[in-house]
Amino acid sequence: MPKYALALVNIKGLGVKTFSYLIPDEMKDEIQVGQAILVPFGRQGLINAFCVGFSDYLPEEIKAKKINKILDKTPLFSLEYLKLLEWVANYYICDFVTVLNTAIPMKLIEKCSKTEKSIEYLSSENTTKRQKEILDLLKEKGKMSLIEFERLAKTTRATVMKLADAGCVKLADEEIYRNPLEIFADQKVEPLYDLNDEQTKVYNEINKQIKSKTRKNEPLLLYGVTASGKTEVYFKLIKDTIDSGKNVLFLAPEIALASQLTKRLARKFGINDVAIWHSSISDGERYDVWQKLYKNEIKILAGARSAVFAPLKNIGLIIIDEEHENAYKQTTPAPRYDARKVARKLAEFHNCPLILGSATPDIESYYRASNMKLLSEMPHRFNNAPVAQTSVINMQNHSRQAYRGVISIPLQTAIKETLEKGQQVILLINRRGYSTTTQCQACGQVIECENCSIPMIWHSDGMELKCHYCGKTKSFPEVCPKCGSNALKNSGTGTQKIEILIKELFADARIERIDSDILQKKTAHIELLNRFQSGEIDILIGTQMIAKGLDNPNVTLVGVISADASFNLPDYRASERGFQLLTQVAGRSGRGKFLGSVIFQTYNPDFYAIESAKAQDYKTFYSTEIAAREEFDYPPFSQVIRLVLSSENEFRAEKSAQEIAYRLCSIIEKQGVSERLIVLGPSVCVIERIQNKHRFQIIIKNKMDEKGHMFISKFMQRITMPKDVKLTIDVDPIDIL
């Protein structure tokens, strides 16, 4: 048995760190990785920690203290689990402790030692004077934690127990966890549907792949148009997996979709075997689910990105639905992990299949799957419901007659006809706020944020200009700050303007808007979608938030106000994102028994991504896009590693960027890998300044897989940054703006 245990602690001011502690003899038989322990820490006294490893060696000058106590003998995670986290740290070039901190909620440690109870006032009959004093204090404070009460009332546990026996107070376990799926408890579990021919074919194909002796550790891709019945195929595969005694991890891109999915799973598989995991579940719930997972009591775990770190055991199948979604990638803070990549590694550890599903697969996923013959297709909607008819309105010809230059006559007519039939409309405008720029008509000056180099956006609800990067607001300037003329004007179109215009045009319709401005409450999104689902809203206006997941059979018109808006970003993935968005939103129309239609308004009707989105033709889009990627060596032909150097001091940020690029290039040259590690830059970022920090970037195109990461990782260890320059490393970034 080793001498020391490595303890993960979370210290105020220091953050999450690991320290070594001596293992007392009496604990040597019991201590395990993953246990919550109590350790002494400087002036803070005893604190909670996790045991994350062991060692026999300690530098001489360090005197290790002893572990005080093992708080909970049941470990919360295993050694294999830590190996996965270690891989994440290496791949994403960030330190292990940061990964641990993301994966294992530190709140769990606190929960472990909370055997405490809460205390509540009941009555003060038949008490002594002193007891009544104590009870009055409690009456005034209401329900509180027992420890805190004892401290406040300067009383002892013995006194409290007497009061409890006399019926003067009530003691209860803190935070009683309730299973959110309880509402389905009385419902009968429904049988799975019989699959139709197309579903059966795909199910057999996937099954063959899964059972194949030569199965590679590569994901299978299920490319199926929206509403083709992919989810029902997953359910059949899930059933097979749990029947064989193994567990299933099922990821959805965001919380709202994960909860929809969990309900659907609960209906088919019962509430006891299913659990949900995402960043917003309560600590009590998380602790409870974590322990159940660890005891292997849950068979199907559904969740958003962070669920890839839940300690589900004995995994036999991983499914990632809507695999093309950005939301699988954490952009900030570090670790900037991508749940799809981590899931691949997880599947490798468990030697189990990973299935990706999408109607608009990520270019990289499609490339790999089609090359490796791991692709299954469902080209038709379930029951052969026809896909919606798409028309493109060329705004070059239509803008003059359009309402306020924005809502074309054909779109107005289509909305009117849809409402008359009692059916529902979705309008997509992928920009929040009222307009897109505030510009001086005399000198051309655009009002930008003082802290960030991007235009501020007028918000008609708060009557102020807002920066979408740092949140800074200011009132509309009376005159142009540059030339002093009073010719400042809002131009461009955002969700708020569309909401106003549509309300003017369709005064009798029930109209709501969904974008992140109105979603201060986490549940507001789900509430609005539910109201739309039940027919209480006629026209739903929103950003890309409304493009996903909505399965409302009464929606027969989808209008895209500006199909160009999604393509304008100077980023290599802009076309892919735009195409996905248009195709996904079009897929919301005509899902039920009524034929649907879709209208794209655009100034670039010939643009290939708009043409293929109109034809709902993924494959044509893919072949154009993959050729461009190959020509410019972008993924999947390389992996991008992005370094951003930012500082309030522009000169120092630039100088650091130059120095890093220079040193990196010379070491690459020396090692003779310059063909496989290509360094671009440094250059100024597209968004030059955010929150008053000047930004420079270096783009590395890596063509040697994980060896490239190791190379960069090693290189980075030797770099020390000046105090006032911040280095951010993003592996496989979702954009390079």
Residue 274 CB, nearest approach to ligand ADP (Å): 17
Helices (H), 271-317: 283-294
Among the listed ranges 225-233, 282-290, 405-413, 568-576, the one in contact with ligand ADP (CB under 6 A) is: 225-233
Strand partners of residue 595? none
Among the listed ranges 10-18, 189-197, 290-298, 400-408, the one in contact with ligand ADP (CB under 6 A) is: 189-197
Choose the contact partner of 103 out of Zn ion, ligand ADP, none; CB within 5 to 8 A by kind: none
* Residue 231 makes contact with ligand ADP by CB under 6 A: yes
* Pairwise CA distance, residues 641 & 639, whole Å: 7
Tokens of 45: 């006294």
Considering only 482, 489, 663, 707, the residue that binds Zn ion (CB under 5 A) is: 482
Among the listed ranges 7-15, 190-198, 456-464, 601-609, the one in contact with ligand ADP (CB under 6 A) is: 190-198
* Residue 226 makes contact with ligand ADP by CB under 6 A: yes
Considering only 14, 483, 628, 719, the residue that binds Zn ion (CB under 5 A) is: 483
Among the listed ranges 39-47, 229-237, 388-396, 665-673, the one in contact with ligand ADP (CB under 6 A) is: 229-237
* Residue 353 makes contact with ligand ADP by CB under 6 A: no
Choose the contact partner of 562 out of Zn ion, ligand ADP, none; CB within 5 to 8 A by kind: none
User: Taking phi first (over 0 means left), then psi (-120 to 50 degrees means alpha), and beta for anything else, what does residue 229 get?
Assistant: left
Residue 485 CB, nearest approach to Zn ion (Å): 5
Question: Is residue 171 within 8 Å of 163, Cβ to Cβ?
Answer: no
The letter for the amino acid at 88 is: V
Using only the alpha carbons of the chain, give its radius of gyration: 29
Residue 606 CB, nearest approach to ligand ADP (Å): 30
Task: Provide the b/e sequence for 482-511 (b: ≥16 CB within 10 Å).
Answer: eeeeeebebebbbbbbbbebbeebbeebeb
Among the listed ranges 303-311, 450-458, 577-585, 618-626, the one in contact with Zn ion (CB under 5 A) is: 450-458
Considering only 85, 248, 480, 657, the residue that binds Zn ion (CB under 5 A) is: 480
* Pairwise CA distance, residues 281 & 276, whole Å: 8
Residue 582 CB, nearest approach to ligand ADP (Å): 17
Cα–Cα distances in angstroms (integers) from residue 402 to residues 209, 393, 408, 449, in the given order: 53, 11, 4, 32
* Residue 358 makes contact with ligand ADP by CB under 6 A: no
Considering only 112, 138, 195, 560, the residue that binds ligand ADP (CB under 6 A) is: 195
Choose the contact partner of 469 out of ligand ADP, Zn ion, none; CB within 5 to 8 A by kind: Zn ion
Cβ neighbourhood burial of 49 (10 Å; 0-12, 13-18, 19+): buried
Residue 219 CB, nearest approach to ligand ADP (Å): 17
Choose the contact partner of 310 out of ligand ADP, Zn ion, none; CB within 5 to 8 A by kind: none
* Residue 196 makes contact with ligand ADP by CB under 6 A: yes
Nearer CB in complex with Zn ion: 262/438: 438
What own/partner pairs with CB < 8 Å and gap ≥ 24 does 622-625 have?
622/363, 622/366, 625/363, 625/575, 625/576, 625/579
* Residue 451 makes contact with Zn ion by CB under 5 A: yes
Question: Is residue 714 within 8 Å of 668, Cβ to Cβ?
Answer: no
* Residue 643 makes contact with ligand ADP by CB under 6 A: no
Considering only 7, 220, 227, 668, the residue that binds ligand ADP (CB under 6 A) is: 227
Site string for ligand ADP, 370-389 (x = CB under 6 A): ------------x-------
User: Taking phi first (over 0 means left), then psi (-120 to 50 degrees means alpha), and beta for anything else, what does residue 535 get?
Assistant: left
Nearer CB in complex with Zn ion: 82/452: 452
Among the listed ranges 261-269, 383-391, 448-456, 729-737, the one in contact with Zn ion (CB under 5 A) is: 448-456
Considering only 168, 206, 388, 467, the residue that binds Zn ion (CB under 5 A) is: 467
* Pairwise CA distance, residues 702 & 708, whole Å: 6
Residue 231 CB, nearest approach to ligand ADP (Å): 3
* Pairwise CA distance, residues 702 & 383, whole Å: 45
Quickly count: other Cβ atoms within 10 Å of residue 620's Cβ. 13
* Residue 229 makes contact with ligand ADP by CB under 6 A: yes
Choose the contact partner of 470 out of Zn ion, ligand ADP, none; CB within 5 to 8 A by kind: Zn ion
Choose the contact partner of 480 out of ligand ADP, Zn ion, none; CB within 5 to 8 A by kind: Zn ion
Which H/E stretch holds residue 9?
Answer: strand 4-11
User: CA torsion angle for 332, 333, 339, 345 (degrees, to 10)?
Assistant: 140
Residue 205 CB, nearest approach to ligand ADP (Å): 16
Tokens of 71: 């708080």
Nearer CB in complex with ligand ADP: 230/459: 230
Choose the contact partner of 229 out of Zn ion, ligand ADP, none; CB within 5 to 8 A by kind: ligand ADP
* Residue 470 makes contact with Zn ion by CB under 5 A: yes
* Pairwise CA distance, residues 159 & 156, whole Å: 5
The letter for the amino acid at 17 is: K
State how far Cα 674 lies from the chain centre: 35
* Residue 494 makes contact with ligand ADP by CB under 6 A: no
Question: Is residue 336 within 8 Å of 92, Cβ to Cβ?
Answer: yes
**Pairing mode, strands 597-602 and 389-394:** parallel
Residue 573 CB, nearest approach to Zn ion (Å): 24
Considering only 98, 199, 556, 656, the residue that binds ligand ADP (CB under 6 A) is: 199
* Pairwise CA distance, residues 425 & 265, whole Å: 29
Residue 184 CB, nearest approach to ligand ADP (Å): 17
Choose the contact partner of 443 out of ligand ADP, Zn ion, none; CB within 5 to 8 A by kind: Zn ion
Nearer CB in complex with ligand ADP: 231/602: 231
How many residues form the binding site for Zn ion (CB under 5 A)? Answer: 14
Indicate the DSSP class of residue 404.
T
* Residue 452 makes contact with Zn ion by CB under 5 A: yes
Choose the contact partner of 155 out of ligand ADP, Zn ion, none; CB within 5 to 8 A by kind: none
* Pairwise CA distance, residues 648 & 131, whole Å: 61
How many residues form the binding site for ligand ADP (CB under 6 A)? Answer: 14
SS (H, E, C) 227-280: CCCHHHHHHHHHHHHHHCCCEEEEECCCHHHHHHHHHHHHHHHCCCCEEEECCC
* Pairwise CA distance, residues 481 & 445, whole Å: 8
Nearer CB in complex with Zn ion: 275/440: 440
* Residue 589 makes contact with ligand ADP by CB under 6 A: no
* Pairwise CA distance, residues 372 & 673, whole Å: 27
* Residue 232 makes contact with ligand ADP by CB under 6 A: yes
* Residue 440 makes contact with Zn ion by CB under 5 A: yes
Tokens 């010719």, located at residue: 487
- CA atoms within 13 A of residue 461's CA, in its CB half-sphere: 12
Considering only 469, 506, 594, 608, the residue that binds Zn ion (CB under 5 A) is: 469
* End-to-end C-alpha distance for the chain, whole angstroms: 51
How are the residues of the chain apportioned to helix, strand and coil, as percentages rounded to the nearest 5?
A: 35, 25, 40
Nearer CB in complex with Zn ion: 443/628: 443
Choose the contact partner of 598 out of ligand ADP, Zn ion, none; CB within 5 to 8 A by kind: none
Site string for Zn ion, 383-422 (x = CB under 5 A): ----------------------------------------
**Pairing mode, strands 247-251 and 315-321:** parallel
* Residue 228 makes contact with ligand ADP by CB under 6 A: yes
Residues in contact with ligand ADP by the rule CB under 6 A:
193-196, 199, 224, 226-232, 382
Residues in contact with Zn ion by the rule CB under 5 A:
440, 442-443, 445, 449, 451-452, 467, 469-470, 472, 480, 482-483
